[in-house]
């Protein structure tokens, strides 16, 4: 059974970090979460004042952060000693787990900065694992050429064509694809019943089971086994993101995502006591 769109949103304007302007697509008043996808932000500006202050050192616990760059450069650094620069087409996949301090700062003073940050929940049994991260450049991520002329950049998971992304993650078995389609080109991808997923249209427009999605619009996928989309006349570029449903209680507290309010209070206590990093 093909999946349909059960909700659409364009997100809401927001600021985060030290005043970075962005669009909050998931974790907004319009869409709280799509288990296990907790948050999706889009940042895009060629005005330095919108992004130059970046995201100075801050804590995380209980989930994963995924930063995917489309344009520009972002330097990340964390309390575990990891540091690097993500450039166009690159991804940093950080598993905060029991707790880490990190920063993400623009490695540019002008020009276009464009990308996405996704938060993915961790199962309760893994929230106190050791932190880790995976980072890959555009050259390290496989690009699958579709028979009809489009392309699929595979960040995590496996396409219907058998291409597997470099990110290894068995906790929620996430799928993260960057798909580019030509005029009226179609794309099909199996998606297990156990997973929830979303489609975000970066450019162009598309239809999915009769529902139209335009540029900068997100569609939440209903239950089913297959995702099947068709690009409009101008083609489309889209993200397909999914993960295994956890069906667990979710408690949020700023940079922490746990299962109970008591665990959130414990996280703040640990932060005050210097037990992060």
CB-count exposure of residue 168 (10 Å: 0-12, 13-18, 19+): exposed
What is the rounded distance in angstroms from the CA atom of residue 277 to the CA atom of residue 58? Answer: 11
Distance CA 50, CA 22 (A): 8
Q: Please, are residues 241 and 200 in contact by the beta-carbon 8 Å criterion? A: yes
Residue 271: phi, psi to the nearest 5?
Answer: -65, -45
Q: How far apart are CA 254 and CA 11, in angstroms?
A: 19
pTM of the model: 0.97
Q: Note the pLDDT of residue 79.
A: 87
Architecture of domain 5-272: Sandwich (2.60)
Average pLDDT, 10 consecutive residues per value, the chain (277 residues): 97 94 97 98 95 94 97 92 92 94 92 97 97 94 94 98 96 98 97 97 98 98 97 98 98 96 96 85
């Amino acid at each position: 059974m093909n999946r349909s769109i059960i909700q659409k949103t364009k997100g809401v304007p927001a600021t985060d970090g030290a005043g970075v302007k962005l669009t909050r697509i998931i974790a907004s008043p319009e869409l709280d979460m799509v288990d296990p996808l907790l948050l999706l932000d889009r940042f895009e500006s060629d005005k330095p004042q919108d992004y130059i202050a970046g995201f100075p050192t801050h804590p995380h616990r209980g989930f994963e952060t995924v930063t995917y760059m489309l344009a520009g450069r972002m330097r990340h650094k964390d309390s575990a000693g990891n540091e690097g620069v993500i450039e166009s087409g690159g991804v940093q996949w950080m598993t905060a787990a029991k707790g880490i301090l990190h920063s993400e700062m623009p490695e540019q003073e002008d020009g276009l900065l464009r990308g996405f940050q996704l938060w993915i929940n961790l199962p309760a049994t893994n929230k106190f694992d050791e932190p880790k991260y995976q980072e890959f450049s555009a050259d390290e991520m496989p690009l699958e050429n579709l028979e009809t002329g489009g392309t699929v950049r595979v960040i995590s998971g496996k396409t219907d064509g058998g291409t597997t992304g470099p990110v290894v993650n068995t906790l929620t078995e996430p799928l993260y694809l960057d798909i580019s389609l030509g005029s009226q080109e179609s794309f099909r991808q199996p998606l297990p019943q156990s997973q929830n997923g979303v489609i975000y249209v970066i450019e162009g427009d598309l239809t999915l089971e009769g529902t139209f999605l335009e540029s900068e619009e997100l569609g939440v996928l209903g239950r089913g086994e297959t995702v099947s989309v068709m690009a409009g006349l101008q083609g489309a570029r889209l993200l397909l993101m999914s993960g295994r449903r956890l069906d667990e209680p979710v408690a949020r507290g700023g940079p922490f995502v746990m299962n109970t309010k008591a665990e959130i209070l414990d996280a703040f206590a640990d932060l005050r006591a210097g037990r992060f990093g």
